[in-house]
Every structure is written in C-alpha cells, then in structure tokens.
Amino acid sequence: MSAEHQNNFQHILPGQHVYDGVLFFGYSPPETLDLVKTFHVRADDVFLVTYPKAGTTWLQEIVWLLMHEGDFEGALATPVYIRSPFLEFKDLTLNEIGLDLASTMPSPRVIKTHLPLKLAPREILVKKPKVIILFRNPKDVCVSYFNFYKCSSSFGNFQGDWPEFLAMFCEGHVDHGSWFDFTKSWWPLRELTNVKLVFYEDLKRNPFGIIKELADFLGKQHLDDVTISRIAAHCSFEKMRENPMTNHQDVYSINSQVSPLMRKGQVGDWKSVFTVQQNEDFTQIYLDKLSHLEIPFTYQLDF
C-alpha cells in the first residue's frame, strides 16, 4: 500500500501503520507482528483464521467448547477473548496481549488470528496444527465491519458514511487490510488434511451439522449428540448476545449504544445497505479479483 493510496481517505486509525503492504491499527504494532511470525506453534494447537466480522467470536466459543469437552461452566467463567487469545492484538488498557496469553496457555490452545497467510506464524506450515478457516460472504462482512468501525474507539472515532467505508473496504484501507488478499491467501490451504474450511452461512443454516463436522475434525467424535446440541444452543446468536462472556459489552472501546459487537448476525443484511449501483460495482470488483477461485459464497438464505 503506497503513501498515495493512504491519502485517498481522510480517516486515520489510532497508531495506523502499514506492515508488509497491509494496513493495521496501533493494537497490532510492528514489533508484535514481527513476533507473531516466529511464534512457537504446538502440534495440538487449533488456529481459528477469520477476516474481521466473519463470525469470529461465534467460532471461538464453539471450538473452545468442543476442545474442552463441553465445559459450559468454564465457558461462563472467563471471557472468550481470554480463553481464545487474539494473537496479533496488544491492548495494554485491557491487559489483553495475545502473544503473552497464548504463550503461557496450557494445551490444547484455541488461538484466533485475522492475518493473511504471509503474516501468520511460519510454524503453522511446519507443525501442521489444526486450522479452521471461516469465510463469510464479503457483502455482509463489509456491512458488519462498517458498523464495527462506527462503534469502536479502537478504529478512531470513524465519522465517515457508508459510501466512504465501502470504498475503503474495496481498496483494503481498513484495519488488517484487504479482505480480497486475505481470502486469496488462505483459500488454497483448504485441501490440506489439517485444515477445515467453514462458511458462516452454512453454520447459520445448519449449526448442529457443522458443529458435528468440527467435532470430527478436531478428534472429538466421542462427544454425543446431546452435547453437540447443547453447544449449538449455547452458541446461538441470541444466547451469545446476552452472554457477558461473549458479547464484549465489558470492553471499554466498544460503544454498544452505537452498535453492539454482536449486532444482527444475519445472512443477507447487506441488501438493506447496498444500493443497486453499489452492489453492481462491488460484484464487478469481486469478479475481477477473485472469480477465478470459484469460491461458493452464499449471499442470502431462503428460510
């Protein structure tokens, strides 16, 4: 990302910097991103790879419960962002330092990252831990990210409107950079035996079935259908929005009066925000950048 590129937009992120061509806010400082690359990966780790606003917290809670044999008491005792650390995140106010949390955590660790593959821990490709990649259709991601920008001071009191944010998103001028580059970097890994690709929309359509698949992938085939059903119910959007361990209402930087972190969780909400022209333009940008990958995104659910 060039300096000229950055000057196309007025909004500046707190601590904004460009690292290896990717824009970041100050909560992922360069020295942290350096350390992430050499982070010591354990073979029994589970990495959750998502772009921001793709259903990350949902996946974190599901996978943590699967890896801990449906320990609902444990899940209700500690915030999910402590149980499942955000690797490249460093917030000294919250004392939430992902690298420190992850490094001292007993196995099996459930670790979250929003990084493109080129910035992820190098040992992921060597140690071959379990990796779950969660994709969500980019139109809903963009709308959700816009609302997150408006409600979180982490992004610096964003005052822009929807058209401005849409342009920022399309150019990768948002925290953690381009959705297109992120998606393109992880998509080829889906065929590896230690990697599981999940679509947000499939999880929404069939939570029990997808959670069952995840249990099998994680070597938790012994968990019975009752436990899987309990996890699905515990991790419903409504329950997670009410749950103080998952709704992030304790996080100082998020103004839930503007927009809660867990806002709607719907598939197809983009249709209430995109104009017809914006939708056509975005679709063309997507086709130009990623159509060759033939990723089967779902943009609405008919149920």
Q: How far apart are CA 166 and CA 145, in angstroms?
A: 10
CA atoms within 13 A on the CB side of 274: 22
What CA–CA distance (Å, rounded) separates 67 from 220?
7
Residue 222 annotated as catalytic: no
d(CA 256, CA 247): 10
Burial of 277 (C-beta count, 10 Å sphere; 0-12/13-18/19+): exposed
Element containing residue 26 per DSSP (H, E): none
Helix residue ranges, H only, 25-104: 30-37, 56-67, 72-75, 80-83, 98-103
> Tokens at residue 299, please?
């943009």
Phi, psi angle pair for 115, to nearest 5°? -80, 145
Q: At what angle do helices 138-151 and 162-171 cross, to 10 degrees?
A: 120
Q: Which of 5, 11, 68, 114 is catalytic?
A: 114
CA-to-CA distance for 6 and 64, rounded, in angstroms?
Answer: 38
Which residues are annotated as catalytic? Answer: 114
